[in-house]
A and B are shown apart, each in its own frame.
Chain A
Amino acid sequence: MYSRLGEITSMDGSISVTLAAHQAIGLKGIILAGTEEQKAKYLPKLASGEHIAAFCLTEPASGSDAASIQSRARLSEDRKHYILNGSKVWITNGGLANIFTVFAKTEVVDYDGSLKDKITAFIVERDFGGVTNGKPEDKLGIRGSNTCEVHFEDTKVPVENVLGVVGGGFKVAMDILNSGRFSMGSAITGMLKRLIEMAAEYACTRKQFNKRLSEFGLIQEKLALMAQKAYAIESMTYLTAGMLDQPGFPDCSIEAAMVKVFSSEAAWQCVNEALQIFGGLSYMRDYPYERILRDTRILLIFEGTNEILRMYIALTGLQYAGRIITARIHELKRATVTTVMETVGRKLWDFTGRTVDMELTGKLGVIHPSLEDSATKLEENTYYFGRTVETLLLRFGKTIGEEQLVLKRVANILINLYGMTAVLSRASRSIRIGLRNHDHEALLASTFCTEAYFQNLFSLTQLDKYAPENTDEQIKKMSQQILEKRTYICAHPLDRTY
C-alpha cells in the first residue's frame, strides 16, 4: 500500500522528499519508540498535516558518523526539563516543521557506574522556544523541498518527551532509518516508468538521418536497460514490502538497504541514459528532464550514502554467516588432514564443473520451467558465494571490517543475488497466473539474470586470493601516493628532460 502511494508521489522529487521526511523519518520515531501518551499527543495532528515533522540528526561535523554529534542536552536543576543546545544542518522540512525528532548527547550513568555520553532522542516542539532555523539552502536538486539549518539555544524539553530510554537514541535512530529506507524503491520505480514512457515517445517521433531514433541499436539498448532496471527495482521493492507485511515485526533492514542501494544507483544510470536519448533537449532548463537528473543525484547520498550501506549490508551478512560457520572456521584453521583432503576434493569437484542443484528447478521446483536457466545461474552463484564467504572469513576473520574493497564486492554480489531472486519469483508468478505481457516479463527477467550472473562471477573471481583480476593492491598503492601529495603527481606530458 505504502509502495503504491510511493509510486504516485514520485511524480515530483521535491514533493516525495518532503513527504518522506515528514512521515518516513520525521514521525517514525514516535511510532516506533514512543509511549502511548506521546503517540496520543502528537500523532493525530501530524497525521492530519497540521503539524509537519522533521528529523534532526546531521550536524556540520557529523554526517554519516552519527555517534560524533556535538549537541548536548543536560538535565535542568528541577529535573523536569532537558536544556538542549546545538545546531543541526541540512534538515529537510526544517523551515516548515513544528515537531522535530532531535538527537543529542546526554550524560548517562553506565551499568558499571561511570559517566558516559550517550545519544538520546527527543521530541522537540517549536513552541518550546529557542528553536531557530536558517535560510533555505540553495540545492542542486529537489529545490522544492525546504532544507535549512536548525539551531537550538537553551531549548527546554520536558522529560516526558524523551523517545525511548535515555541513552538509547542510537538504537532509535537506527530503527527509524532502517525502516524509512525502502520507500525509495517504489518512488524510483514510478519515476523510471514515466521516464521510459517519455523517452520511448521521443525516440519514436524524432527522425535523424531519415531514420527514427528507435531504429538505432544504441537507443534500443538504453531503453531495454531502463526497462530491465525498472522491473528489477519494482520486484525487489514489492518483495521487501511483502516480507515486511508478514505478521510480527520482521527485520528487513538488509533487504531495505539493498533496495535503496540498487534503486538509487540504477536510477542514476537510467536517468543518465534517458537524458542521452533526449539529446540537446535534456540540457535545457525549459524541459523537465534535467530536473529529474538533479533530483535523482541526491538519492545516492541521503538516507545513508551508498558506500556506507554497502558496508552495512556486507558486515551484517558476514556477522550472521560468521556466527553460523564458526565451528567450521575453527576446524579449517586447525588444518587437519581430513579438512585438507575435503578442500582439495571440493576444488576438484568444482573443477569438473558439476552443476549445483538447490531444488529451484525440476519436478518440485517453484520456478516456472521457462526460467530454468536463470534459476540454475542463481543457484550456482549462491553456492559459490557461500564458499567464497567461508574463505573470506577464514582469511580475514574479525578484521574484515577494514577491507572495504572486499566488502564492497560482497555487497554487490548480495544485491545482485537479491535482485535475481526477486525478479525470478515475480516472473514465475506472472507466467503461472497468466498476467498480461508475461512473456515480456520473462524476457526482462532472464536478461537481468544473465547480466547479474556474469557480474557476480567476475566479483567472485576478484575475491580470490592472488587473483589477477583483483586490483585492490594497486588501487591502495595509487591512492596512497596521491593522498601523500594531495594532488595528481604525474609529470605533465610536455615536460622535458633534455
Chain B
Amino acid sequence: MSWVQATLLAQGLCKAWGGICRATLTGTSISQVARQLPRGLHCSAATHSSETSLVPTPTEPQQSRTKALVPYENMFGQAPNGKRDKASFLQAVQKFGEHSVRKRGHVDFIYLALRKMREYGVERDLAVYNQLLDIFPKEVFRPRNFIQQIFIHYPRQQECGVAVLEQMENNGVMPNKETEFLLIQIFGRKSHPMLKFLRLKRWFPRFMNINPFPVPRDLSQDPVELATFALRRIEPDLSARVTIYQTPSSKDSTDAADPTQPHIVGIQSPDQQAALARHNPTRPIFVEGPFSLWLRNKCVYYHILRADLLPPEEREVEEIPEEWNLYYPMWLDLDYARHGWDDYEFDIDEVEEGPVFAMCIAGAHDQATLARWIQYLQETNPALAQIPVVFRLAGPTGELQTSAGLEEPPPPEDHEEEDSNLQRQREGQS
C-alpha cells in the first residue's frame, strides 16, 4: 500500500470514528453517516453491518437500526387500501427514490424489499427486479482504474446486487437485456453481479428442461384437480383411468347424512383390473396409507390397494397351451434353457413387490371414506366383493392404527348392514 493510500486510510478511519461517535450521540443511522466518507476509499464500511460497529455499545446500534428501518418499513406498510400487490410494491420503491436524491441507505432498502417481495407476491416478476436494480445510483460503482478493478470495488453494493440476482435465481426468473444494461451501467462489465448474470444466462436455458417430470408453476388449488394431477403423476401407464368418485360440494344442501363429504379420486389401469380379477379370494388385500406426495409446496396423501406376493409354491405357472398360435410355435420343445452368459434377467436393484390394484386420493384418511372408495371400486371390479379387505391405515403419527383383523367383505348396497358394519369398525378402532 503506497503512502497516499495509507494517509487516505488513516483519514478515513478518523472520520469513521468521528462519525460513529456522532451516531451514538445523535442517534442517526450509521449507514447515513457512512455516505459522507470520501469516495476514493472503497471501504464502504457499515452500510450493512451495523452490528460490527467500532464502539461496542449493544443498545445504541439497535436503536439506530430500528430507527433506520422504521421509515422504510413505513413505506411498505402504507399501502393505499392495505392491498399488497405489484402496484403498491412499486409505489413503495418509488417513494424511496423520492425521499432523497442521495438515496441514502439504498442497500438496506433493497435487502428489505427483497424480503418483502414474497408478501406482495411479486417474487417472480422480472420488471420488479429491474426496478429494484434501478434504485442503485448509476455510474458510481464502476471501477475507474485497474486498482479498483483488482479489489472488489464497493463490495457491499456488489454483494447487494448479487443478492438481488440470487433471489431471481431462486425464484427461477430469467433476466433480460434490460437487466444486463442496468448492471453494466451500475457496476460495470467485470463486476460480480455481472458475472452472476452471465452465469444465469448460460445455465438457466440448459436447466429449464432437465426435469423429466415437471410440475407446472400454477398448480390448481382445487383439491379434486390436484388429486387428478397427482394420481396421473404417480401412475405411468397412459391407459389408466382416473375416476372422480366423490366431489366435496354436496349437490343436495338438505342432505343431512354427509354435509361435507370428502372428495375421493381413484385411478386404475386395465392391467390392474385384470390382476384384481385374477386374485385369489382366500388371500386378503390391504388398503395402505396415507403416503405423502409433495407437489411444489402442497402435500397430498394417497392410499393404495395392494396384495402381498404369492410365495413361490403358490405362484401359478403360466401354461402355454399347445395349440395357441396358428402360425408359429410359441415354445420350442427343447430340454435346455437360456445359456448362463446370455441371461440378463437378474438385476440386483430390482425388488419384486406385490401387485398394486388401485390408488386413490381422498379428503379424509379414515376408514369410512376408504370403505366408500372400495365400494365404488366394486362397480368396475365385481371380484372385489369376494375378497377380504384389510385396512392398514397409519395415523397422523405414522403408527399403524389398531384396526380390527380380517374384515368381512363389504356387502353390496345394503344401507343398514353397511351402517352396522361401519359402527362395528368404529368400535373396533376405538
Contact = CB atoms under 8 A, between A and B. Distances in A.
Interface of A: 204-205, 209, 433-438
Interface string B319-339: 000001100001000000000
Contacts, number: 18
A434 B206 contact: yes
B239 A434 contact: no
18 contacts: A204-B238, A204-B239, A205-B239, A209-B324, A209-B325, A209-B330, A433-B205, A433-B206, A434-B205, A434-B206, A434-B207, A434-B208, A434-B209, A434-B210, A435-B209, A436-B209, A437-B209, A438-B209
Contacts of B210: 434
Interface of B: 205-210, 238-239, 324-325, 330
Nearest to A205: B239
A437 B209 CA distance: 8
Nearest to A207: B270
Nearest to A208: B325
Contacts of A435: 209
Contacts of B208: 434
Nearest to A201: B238
A201 B205 CA distance: 32
A467 B318 CA distance: 54
Contacts of A434: 205-210
A458 to B, nearest CB: 29
> What DSSP secondary structure best describes chain B's contact surface?
loop
The 6 closest A-B pairs by CB, nearest first: A434-B206, A436-B209, A434-B209, A433-B205, A435-B209, A434-B205
Contacts of A437: 209
A150 B261 CA distance: 73
A434 B204 CA distance: 9
Contacts of B207: 434
Contacts of A205: 239
B281 to A, nearest CB: 22
A204 B236 CA distance: 13
Contacts of A209: 324-325, 330
Nearest to A200: B238
Contacts of A438: 209
Nearest to A210: B318
A205 B208 CA distance: 33
Contacts of A436: 209
A438 B205 CA distance: 13
A465 to B, nearest CB: 43
A56 B236 CA distance: 54
Contacts of B239: 204-205
B249 to A, nearest CB: 34
Contacts of B324: 209
Nearest to B270: A205
Given A434-B205, A434-B206, 14 more contacts: A204-B238, A205-B239, A209-B324, A209-B325, A209-B330, A433-B205, A433-B206, A434-B207, A434-B208, A434-B209, A435-B209, A436-B209, A437-B209, A438-B209
Contacts of B238: 204
A434 B210 CA distance: 7
A202 to B, nearest CB: 12
A433 B238 CA distance: 29
